[in-house]
């Protein structure tokens, strides 16, 4: 089993918001970082975003190392086979089980047999993802919070076959990347979304039933429970489509009617109101 001292290069699959954020913190932690995406324009956009983020952190005194030095540790790659140099791989593509499985099937063939494969899934079964590989004991979930460079938590999810050695190394790696980790067993929603998504779903029921306006629901929860933003605003930032997909996973996976997706949330998603990223959700942006 590889120990932390032998991990020099980290591979990241997906140059979207999550993947680029993970690449940034890996490079900040001193790792050589391979950022993979099939979209060359997306890769370039990710690098520009990382550069901007690092500059802001440096200006605020949050990091000591000069941004160009950190950025120099990130290499763009467009062939999955280029990740063969990595000592640890984190997948961070869209929350689509079939897509993730297809990537891990290929990755399992490419990577040396001792390399740990991690998925930045927020809700999908780590055990099912691991089952398409020949190394389920070296497979684990790493659910980073968004935005990755600013949020201090990573939720580590143990699949059914994940070994203690894999978990311990992943926990050490998370600490090296300046993250506090919590450990969840592999059940729908894990820890964070098992608690967070029902709250968001209930906020939509509260809105749908006319109990209060969106503004009053958010203000009440902010000031009454000391949260940084209300649940409807948070849903807009996460993406209403993402919230709806996770609630459905909870409902389907646990079979309890208390997780039934709110019809109003579904209506927003059906209308294409995905939140901040689409310019319209519960609120306009």
| 16 labeled binding residue | yes
- CA geometry: angle at 177 spanning 182 and 58, to 5°? 130
Distance CA 170, CA 166 (A): 6
User: Are 259 and 188 spatial neighbours (Cβ–Cβ below 8 Å)?
Assistant: no
| 18 labeled binding residue | yes
| 20 labeled binding residue | no
| 255 labeled binding residue | no
| 278 labeled binding residue | no
| 15 labeled binding residue | yes
| 122 labeled binding residue | yes
| 45 labeled binding residue | no
| 108 labeled binding residue | no
List the catalytic residues: 122, 143, 155, 193
| 222 labeled binding residue | no
- CA geometry: angle at 169 spanning 77 and 25, to 5°? 45
Distance CA 133, CA 85 (A): 19
| 239 labeled binding residue | no
- Nearest residue to 18 (alpha-carbon basis) of 40, 48, 50: 50
| 179 labeled binding residue | no
Binding residues: 14-19, 37, 53, 60, 95, 100, 122, 146, 277
Known binding-site positions for CoA = 53, 60, 122
Known binding-site positions for NAD(+): 14-19, 37, 95, 100, 122, 146, 277
């Amino acid at each position: 089993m590889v120990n932390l001292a032998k991990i020099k290069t980290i591979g990241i699959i997906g140059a979207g918001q999550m993947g680029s954020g993970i690449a940034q913190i890996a490079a900040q932690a001193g790792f050589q970082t391979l950022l993979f995406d099939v979209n060359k324009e997306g890769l370039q956009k990710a690098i520009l975003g990382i550069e901007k983020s690092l500059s802001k952190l440096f200006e605020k005194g949050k990091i000591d190392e000069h941004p160009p030095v950190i950025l120099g540790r990130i290499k763009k790659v467009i062939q999955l086979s280029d990740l063969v140099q990595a000592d640890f791989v984190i997948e961070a593509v869209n929350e689509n089980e079939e897509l993730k499985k297809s990537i891990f099937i290929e990755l399992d063939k490419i990577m040396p047999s001792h390399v740990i494969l991690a998925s930045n899934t927020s809700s999908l079964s780590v055990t099912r993802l691991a089952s398409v590989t020949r190394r389920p004991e070296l497979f684990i979930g790493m659910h980073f919070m968004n935005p990755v460079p600013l949020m201090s938590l990573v939720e580590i999810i143990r699949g059914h076959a994940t070994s203690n050695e894999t978990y311990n190394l992943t926990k050490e790696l998370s600490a090296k990347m300046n993250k506090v980790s919590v450990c969840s067993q592999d059940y729908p929603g894990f820890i964070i979304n098992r608690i967070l998504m029902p709250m968001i779903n209930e906020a939509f029921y509260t809105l749908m039933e006319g109990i209060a306006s969106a503004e009053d629901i958010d203000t009440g929860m902010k000031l009454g429970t000391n949260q940084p933003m209300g649940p409807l605003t948070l849903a807009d930032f996460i993406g209403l489509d993402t919230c709806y997909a996770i609630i459905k996973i909870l409902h389907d996976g646990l079979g309890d009617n208390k997780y039934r997706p709110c019809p109003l949330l579904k209506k927003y998603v059906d209308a294409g109101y995905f939140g901040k990223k689409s310019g319209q959700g519960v609120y306009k942006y």
